[in-house]
A and B are shown apart, each in its own frame.
Chain A
Amino acid sequence: DAGVTQSPTHLIKTRGQQVTLRCSPKSGHDTVSWYQQALGQGPQFIFQYYEEEERQRGNFPDRFSGHQFPNYSSELNVNALLLGDSALYLCASSRQGRNTEAFFGQGTRLTVV
């Protein structure tokens, strides 16, 4: 079992550009959540996907959007990048009804210059 995998591991983008991050959940998991972790901070919840729909959303602007595919994998899209979007983006997967046990991926380190 590969666990939760995220790609890419690192990337650098310019202000104003758009970025797509990808996540494959742990085998048997159907729910994917995305978090932003700024340097020196705890993870902040962005949104959660289940059955290909956004189910819950944190306090993030509409520039942050996502998608879940039929195989449960997910993408996070960020438009019009700002310097403040530089962070570690974490994906967590879980099973509906067993959300107490969420498994996190290694994260994607995004640097906006």
Chain B
Amino acid sequence: GAVVSQHPSWVICKSGTSVKIECRSLDFQATTMFWYRQFPKQSLMLMATSNEGSKATYEQGVEKDKFLINHASLTLSTLTVTSAHPEDSSFYICSATKQLGRAGPSYNEQFFGPGTRLTVL
């Protein structure tokens, strides 16, 4: 299997507070995890690439000081939204990559978490 969990599934916080979202690969090790953001009626937009043991790589326009990513182990990546504001309200989704293809050329597939809905009041 390849199960990815996120915690919490939803969170409501006051403006100015920080919120941490966890992404876990439950039954496999993931050297790379990705964080996406999705606003209502829009598609998923990649925010950053999280590699175990190294600094995350952020997409253009994503503030690395505002969206702190830590990938401390092969099964856990965290996204912390610092000093959250109402415009940060969104659906945050992570994915974890699993290496497949033992019988042939190896390749990576992404498995997605269920998402975390953040509402900032």
Asked if A and B bind, the verdict is: no
